[in-house]
Amino acid sequence: MEIFKETSKIDFMGKRKLALGISGLLIVISLVSIAFQGGLSYGIDFAGGTLVQLRFKSAPSVDSIRTGLKEIGLGDSTIQEFGSKNEILIRTATSSSELKEVGSRIKDALLKGGSEDDIIVDRVELVGPKVGADLREKALLSIVYAIAGILIYISWRFEFQFAIAAVLALMHDVMITMGVFSILNIEFTLVVVAGFLTLIGYSLNDTIVVFDRIRENTRRQGKETLENMINLSVNQTLSRTLLTSGTTLLVVIALFVLGGEIIHDFSLTLLVGVAVGTYSSIFIASVFLVYWESKRRTKKRA
């Protein structure tokens, strides 16, 4: 199936300044949002604290839950619906060992003489601040190691400038996706980190396909300029790129809508990442190769 014929002649490199402008603007907005929010909003996995998931027989009011929590000294907890109006997540920054029975304490505080079946404690998670900091460091290192491995692999399979181009495209995708999370004030959790690692793998796959075609065309048509070679390669792989991304997006949208709250943030990471990654594999990675070649020629003339 072809959306665009391999002989199509869309001038992607002619629009590189516009693409770089759009990317630069999105990255600036992301950085400003993260700075304005005082950094990423870490979830309980990284910041430490206690999470309690309760299932009510009938939909409770947030005010009544807040009042009940105040009575046991947890009035500053975060309260949110989880999946349905009958399910509530309560997050508190406190993670002392005395709160290991926090689920029962909260349940008792909210029951107020009601039946035991009115509230069911589905989940209690407790993460200490030291464990949270350790997880945060390991999550960051996992992303750094993944990018370092990609740098080495692509340098070996292609050339060093291709590796730099691929890594820049990946950083572009990660920064913009982080910006979306910051703007939407979504917590950065282990599930989101798993989403970012999946995103890195997906985005790299798309970029490698374009790089492979550029290398093949360079061998076949060595007299063409690099801009023409990239335009030719991107046009030849455009249908494949759009079909792959389109079908992936359909799956991710289904997960986002039907997958439930547990994988909601994971699917949102992929939803944003696949869209941004498709754009960056066409414009950002290849554009860097053009600037690298231009700089090399300038040095050669000098």
Condensed to tens digits (0 to 9), the pLDDT of residues 10-60 reads 888 888 889 889 999 999 999 999 999 888 887 777 777 787 888 888 888
**What is the pTM for the complete model shown?**
0.76
pLDDT on residue 25: 95
- What is residue 289's predicted lDDT score, i.e. its pLDDT? 83
Give the pLDDT of residue 137. 81
Least confident of 102-106, 258-262, 284-288: 102-106
At the top level of CATH, which class does the domain 13-42+131-301 belong to?
A: mainly alpha
Q: Give the Å distances, CA to CA, from 71 to 58, 103, 110, 115.
A: 22, 14, 10, 20
Q: At 71, is the pLDDT very low, low, confident or very high (cuts 50, 70, 90)?
A: confident
Do 49-127 and 13-42+131-301 have the same topology in CATH?
no
Instruction: Dig out the tokens for 257 from the structure.
Output: 């809508």
Q: What is the pLDDT of residues 131-146, one digit of tens each?
A: 667 777 887 888 788 8
- Which residues lie closer than 8 Å to 171 by C-beta, 6 or more apart? 147
Q: Which residue has the tokens 């991710």?
A: 252
Q: How confident is the model at residue 98 (pLDDT cuts 50, 70, 90)?
A: low
pLDDT (tens digit, 9 = 90+) per residue, 195-253? 888 888 888 888 888 888 888 888 876 677 888 888 888 888 888 888 888 888 899 99
| pLDDT value for 6 | 62
- Residue spans of the domains in the chain: they are 13-42+131-301, 49-127
Backbone region of residue 43 per phi and psi (left: phi > 0; alpha: psi in -120 to 50; beta: other values): beta
70 pLDDT tier (thresholds 50, 70, 90):
confident
pLDDT of residue 170: 87
- Which range has the top average pLDDT, 73-87, 177-191, 215-229? 177-191
What's the topology of domain 49-127?
Answer: Alpha-Beta Plaits (3.30.70)
Residue with tokens 């304490």: 105
Q: What is the mean pLDDT of residues 157-174?
A: 87
Mean per-residue pLDDT of the chain: 81
